[in-house]
Amino acid sequence: MAEDTVYMSTPDEFGRFGEFGGRFVPEALMPACLELEDAFLDAWSDREFLAEYRSVLADFAGRPTPITPLARLSERLGISVYAKREDLAHTGSHKINNVVGQTLLTVRMGKSRVIAETGAGQHGVATATAAARLGLACTIFMGEVDTKRQELNVFRMELLGATVVPVTSGSRTLKDAVNEAMREWVTCVEDTHYCLGSVMGPHPFPWMVREMQSIIGHEAARQLRDVRVGTPDYVVACVGGGSNAAGVFAGFANSSAQLIGVEAAGGAAVGHGSPGVLHGMRSLIMQDEFGQIEEAHSISAGLDYPGIGPEHAHLAASGRARYVEVGDEVIIDALRTLSELEGIIPALESAHAVAWLIREAGREIPLGSTVLLNMSGRGDKDVAQVLSILRSGS
């Protein structure tokens, strides 16, 4: 980690972060990726666009989200934990930050429709929401397994006027939803934007989505300064594709804070993956000895993904961030602990970050440390699943 390295800046002209990233898509999609890159570059330096983006986030999506000191959890663990409350953003997770930006960009590019993949359904709901607001048509691809465990979110998307397509190929989860969305995009790229939901996929998505999520980290850094906490010792976020983590890390990339990404043990691309190419990017991917992609298995639909965004692969390789994993078996307990102590029911995804804190406070995390925990989403979508797990008496 060289002293003068600047972390989380712009990728190179091929969209690479170190040896990861790039653009591995069918030729049919290349022009769209190039167009998107241009459009994003242009918009992201256009004051008017930025002003509109920020005002929609404020007036529609409820930003800034607060920082909540978690007094009782902190006392229990012997560390000072502050939660960045993305669960309070409209639609219930950080996903809205990204889709607000991408749907505004869709309109700017003159397209009239968006498609998206979704795992937990949060990105699908967010996309359907932002599309509704702008009168864009919207189709969401969702693994069939996920349509079942996240039924509530399927309903929400339908009420928002979106069409939800259950994906029955492969493991029928997030990975397959991405495949299917890509296949669909090939057929309609002219008038349709693929509103990717995490810091993954071909350039410019990993970079663009990180930029659109970086408001989380920048807000949090300012808020912690305002309450005189300053730079926390740790910044902790769960990692599926990695967008909420990238967003919060962006505010602390060049600070002294240790950055920790928490993967689901059954979907740990850093923990169990190796370099590979999937969904348009070169990154760390869980794969077998023949390069076949492994099916992720996580209690949480949003982390049920065998890859990770390329910038995270790079942050891991460079040592700037560290990626850890927690298993399904501790997630429900973590969710209950936070609910009962703090009155915040976290999403199962976010509960992974909580579980890591609970496990490591006083071990890896020295007592007395200050921790910023990114509460990426609320658990409403999960409570039916959690209760059925609890009732089946595990």
Number of residues that make up the chain: 394
The yes-or-no answer on residue 117 being catalytic is: yes
Contact 65, 222 (CB under 8 A): no
The yes-or-no answer on residue 84 being catalytic is: no
The interface partner of residue 23, options being a second copy, another protein, ligand PLP, none and the CB cut-off 5 to 8 Å by kind, is another protein
Residues 141-200 close enough to bind a second copy by CB under 8 A: 151-152, 155-156, 158-161
Residues 351-380 close enough to bind a second copy by CB under 8 A: 379-380
Interface residue with a second copy, options 236, 284, 344, 354 (CB under 8 A): 344
Alpha-carbon distances of 71 from 11, 75, 228, 342, rounded to whole Å: 39, 6, 16, 8
The nearest distance, CB 246 to ligand PLP, in angstroms, is: 8
Residue 44 exposed, middle or buried by CB count within 10 Å (0-12, 13-18, 19+)? middle
The nearest distance, CB 341 to a second copy, in angstroms, is: 7
The nearest distance, CB 143 to ligand PLP, in angstroms, is: 12
- What's the start-to-end Cα distance of the chain, in Å? 44
The nearest distance, CB 91 to a second copy, in angstroms, is: 8
Regarding 291 and contact with another protein (CB under 8 A), the answer is yes
The interface partner of residue 107, options being ligand PLP, another protein, a second copy, none and the CB cut-off 5 to 8 Å by kind, is none
The interface partner of residue 287, options being ligand PLP, a second copy, another protein, none and the CB cut-off 5 to 8 Å by kind, is another protein
Query: With CB under 8 A as the contact rule, which of the stretches 53-61, 175-183, 351-359, 360-368 interacts with a second copy?
Result: 53-61
Closest CA to 261 of 373, 96, 93: 373
CA distance 384 to 214: 31
Q: Which residues contact 363 (CB under 8 A, 6 or more apart)?
A: none
> Among residues 117, 180, 325, 360, which one is catalytic?
117
CA distance 268 to 303: 9
Q: Which residues contact 9 (CB under 8 A, 6 or more apart)?
A: none
What is the secondary structure of 271-334 as a DSSP string? Answer: HH-EEEEETTEEEEE-B-TTSPBPPP--SSGGG--SB--HHHHHHHHHTSEEEEEE-GGGHHHH
CA distance 272 to 268: 6
The nearest distance, CB 386 to a second copy, in angstroms, is: 7
Interface residue with another protein, options 279, 312, 352, 381 (CB under 8 A): 279
Nearer to a second copy, 92 or 310 (CB): 92
Nearer to ligand PLP, 37 or 146 (CB): 146
Nearer to a second copy, 13 or 48 (CB): 48
The yes-or-no answer on residue 175 being catalytic is: no
Regarding 393 and contact with a second copy (CB under 8 A), the answer is no
Q: Which residues contact 219 (CB under 8 A, 6 or more apart)?
A: 63, 64, 65, 84, 251
Nearer to another protein, 280 or 377 (CB): 280
Q: Binding string, 54-93, against a second copy, x = CB under 8 A?
A: ----xxx-x--xxxxx--x------------x--xxx-x-
Residues taking part in catalysis = 95, 117, 376
